[in-house]
Amino acid sequence: MIYNPKLPDDSVNIPQESIVLQALKLTLSLVLIVAVFYGVMVLLVNLIVANISPKQEKELLSYVTFDVNISNEKSPYLTEIKNKLTACTEIPYDVNIFVSSEEIANAYALPGGSIHITKGMLSELTTQNELAFIIGHELGHFQNKDHLKGLGHSLVLLSLALLIGDDYSILGQTLSAGGAKYSQSAELHADKVGLELLNCAYGSVTDATKTFERMGEDHEDWEFFLASHPNFDLRVEKMKEIIEEEKMDVTKASPVLENILE
Amino acid sequence: MYNLIFWAILLLLGYIFGTIAEKRHFKSIREREEKFKMLPTIMLKKPLNADNIKEVKLVNGNVVISVDFFKKFVASLINLFGGNITAYETLVDRARREAILRMKEDATDASEIINIRIETSSISKNTKSIGAIEVLAYGTAVYR
């Protein structure tokens, strides 16, 4: 027997296709499939939410609990302003309003009918109209059923992540980035409702844009890239357009803001 | 958003360092294969020539190679669609050739290595961690 030395043939066991090309092809296919599925499911959720009755909504939300800061307190002053605004809405259930102890300036509407305004946000405000607009904006989310839509979209996202096995929550991140545009348009719509409620309850929208104008000075535009909220400059611009279009009053002085933080 | 950027950076670093490491490794493998070309390594149980054998010895070569973040990502994508995980094929090829080379290095003065066996196992099967492959090559070195 003769031993004939040969080196291994690299073309047999080493794949010739570029791994980057393969990764690109697979990623694009996956993104396409997931995007189409997610898009269809989101449309379906929006359709269901649009046709859901207040009774069904109440029943649905009785299955859900939200872990919010327990120290959140009800405030009679905020409730009074909220009542003034809700008189102008068609929200079919009672909305509760709370002050949250968080220092960051924020306000949010939670499924189940509760609005939470942080102490940080309250300390930013200077007039009652500003506060009423913030509450009106959150009421706008309830009126547009954004909380239910958000819940439905998260559910779709969660099922997709579980289905595909999203170890690094990349899928969730990518889709929420994709959903950011949708979320931003929902925010602009809630701003519009906020203005309408303020105009209806107070007969004027003086100072409504002041909070965002101030907050816009503290933030850079890039911070809003793919964020759930549009940048403050755009929000102010859109609000001013609505005020002009709907000929809302901006001359009547705003009522004084009571300091409820002390 | 920051998670996404962090993940993309990890992926890029995985690709850059993984590719550099792989290229270097293949270069070293080819050079050493050329060097040990004249040492017959065969799977027959008996030597080619049974005359003048002075000594026989068990020799082995063992290697553990880790998969990089980029390859793991590509493999997880293929997991969804099915097909050859080509990203891992180069890894297995490197590990197998490196193990054989180390075995040869363990038997530098031998006239041949017979009865070669190759075994493989995977380390850290946990999906959250980066996987690694172990290849063990062993055989009988024949000295004349």
pLDDT above 70 for B48:
yes
Is the minimum CB–CB distance between A26 and chain B shorter than 8 Å? Answer: yes
Q: Map residue A122 onto helix, strand or coil.
A: helix
CB contacts of A177 in chain B (<8 Å) are: 1, 4
- C-alpha span between A227 and A134 (Å, rounded): 19
Is the minimum CB–CB distance between A33 and chain B shorter than 8 Å? Answer: no
Q: Map residue A65 onto helix, strand or coil.
A: coil
Q: How many CA atoms lie within 13 A of A82 on its CB side?
A: 24
Q: pLDDT tens digits for A112-133? A: 778 888 888 888 888 888 889 9
So what's the pLDDT on residue A179? Answer: 65
Distance from CA of A140 to the nearest CA of B (A): 27
Residue B142's pLDDT band (cuts 50, 70, 90): very high
CA distances from A62 to A56, A97, A172 (A): 10, 18, 26
A215 versus A48: the higher-pLDDT residue is A48
- C-alpha span between A259 and A254 (Å, rounded): 15
Weakest mean pLDDT among A217-231, A237-251, B12-26, B41-55? A217-231
So what's the pLDDT on residue B110? Answer: 92
In order of their start, the domains of chain B are 2-143 (3.30.110.70)
Single-letter amino acid, residue A10: D
DSSP A168-218: TSHHHHHHHHHHHHHHHHHHHHHHHHHHHHHHHHHS--TTTTHHHHHHHHH
pLDDT above 80 for A181:
no
The residue-averaged pLDDT of A8-25 equals: 85
Q: Are A112 and A64 in contact (CB under 8 A)?
A: yes
So what's the pLDDT on residue B125? Answer: 63
CB contacts of A5 in chain B (<8 Å) are: 37-38, 40
Tokens of B19: 């590719």
Residue B116's pLDDT band (cuts 50, 70, 90): very high
So what's the pLDDT on residue B62? Answer: 95
Q: Are B9 and B74 in contact (CB under 8 A)?
A: no
Query: Which residue ranges make up each domain of chain A?
Result: 17-245
Q: pLDDT tens digits for B63-112? A: 999 888 899 888 888 888 888 888 889 999 999 999 999 999 999 889 99
Percentages of chain B per state (helix, strand, coil), in multiples of 5: 45, 25, 30
Beta carbons of B80 and A170 less than 8 Å apart: no
Is the minimum CB–CB distance between B5 and chain A shorter than 8 Å? Answer: no
So what's the pLDDT on residue B127? Answer: 59
DSSP B46-93: S-S--TT--EEEEEEEEEEEEPPHHHHHHHHHHHHH-S--HHHHHHHH
What is this model's ipTM?
Answer: 0.74
Could you give phi then psi for residue B137, rounded to 5 degrees? -115, 130
Distance from CA of A225 to the nearest CA of B (A): 9
Instruction: Using CB atoms within 10 Å of the CB of residue A51, give its burial: 0 to 12 exposed, 13 to 18 middle, 19+ buried.
Output: exposed
Q: What is the mean pLDDT of chain B?
A: 88
So what's the pLDDT on residue B94? Answer: 93
Residue A142's pLDDT band (cuts 50, 70, 90): confident
